[in-house]
Amino acid sequence: MEPMPPKHHQESVIMDSHEMTRALTRIAHEILERNKGCRDVGLVGIRTGGVYLAQRLKRLIAQIEQTEVVLGELDITLYRDDLSIRKDQPVLKKTDIPFHISDIRIILVDDVLFTGRTIRAAMDGLTDLGRPAEIQLAVLIDRGHRQLPIRANYVGKNIPTAKDENIRVLLEELGEEDRVAKLINVGTAA
């Protein structure tokens, strides 16, 4: 029996660069409004896409408030709940949170919220480093299909999807043109 040919995907752009910037600017304003400024607030980006989005939010908040907010990067690899069933070995990246997280409000930042398992792992990673006063969640895209009771405080855009669809956040920091795309399965390649 011959192996099935690979599936072919077509990209449908959901957000362009301008829409992404608008969404992040709105999120920055919402963060400042909810927290009455940025005093005792820290941004923590989840590797990899969340780190770049957190850096953008940091710049936007600095433009709005004329003050800096602290920024950290979190690698959740060792906190994932699928380590024992994965065939490939995880690649450890860097966690760098150069400030004490205890007693401050942490804004976790990620690109796409799907099942909630990444966020659960991130919260486990954070609590190993201290006891934040509060953990809030900012995501560019919420695509639904939660498996855990997790909800974002700040959402750039809600995009209903089928479970087998794929959403990709492409960023210029990763050598792409800024955009959010839905990959649509168009059958098999010839």
3-class SS of residue 21? helix
Per-residue model confidence (pLDDT) at position 1: 47
CATH hierarchy code of domain 16-77+93-185: 3.40.50.2020
DSSP notation for 36-93: TSSTTEEEEEETTHHHHHHHHHHHHHHHHHSS--EEEEE--GGG-TTTTT-SSPPPP-
Q: In the predicted model, is pLDDT for residue 184 greater than 90? A: no
- pLDDT, tens digit (0-9, with 9 covering 90-100), for 51-108: 999 999 999 999 999 999 999 999 998 886 555 555 665 556 689 999 999 999 999 9
Cα separation, 12 vs 175, whole angstroms: 19
Per-residue model confidence (pLDDT) at position 4: 44
pTM of the model: 0.89
Q: Could you tell me the pLDDT band of residue 185, with boundaries at 50, 70 and 90? A: confident
Cα separation, 109 vs 126, whole angstroms: 13
Per-residue model confidence (pLDDT) at position 78: 83
Degrees (nearest 5) of the Cα angle 93, 173, 14? 110
Q: How many angstroms separate the Cα of 29 from the Cα of each of 43, 64, 106, 115, 135?
A: 14, 8, 16, 26, 17
- pLDDT, tens digit (0-9, with 9 covering 90-100), for 134-151: 999 999 999 999 999 999
Per-residue model confidence (pLDDT) at position 187: 61
Per-residue model confidence (pLDDT) at position 77: 87
Every domain of the chain and the residues it spans: 16-77+93-185
Per-residue model confidence (pLDDT) at position 28: 98
- pLDDT, tens digit (0-9, with 9 covering 90-100), for 3-51: 444 556 788 999 999 999 999 999 999 999 999 999 999 999 999 899 9
Q: Is the distance from CB of 127 to CB of 76 less than 8 angstroms?
A: no
Q: In the predicted model, is pLDDT for residue 128 greater than 80? A: yes
- pLDDT, tens digit (0-9, with 9 covering 90-100), for 51-62: 999 999 999 999
Helices 17-34 & 49-65 angle (0-180, nearest 10): 60
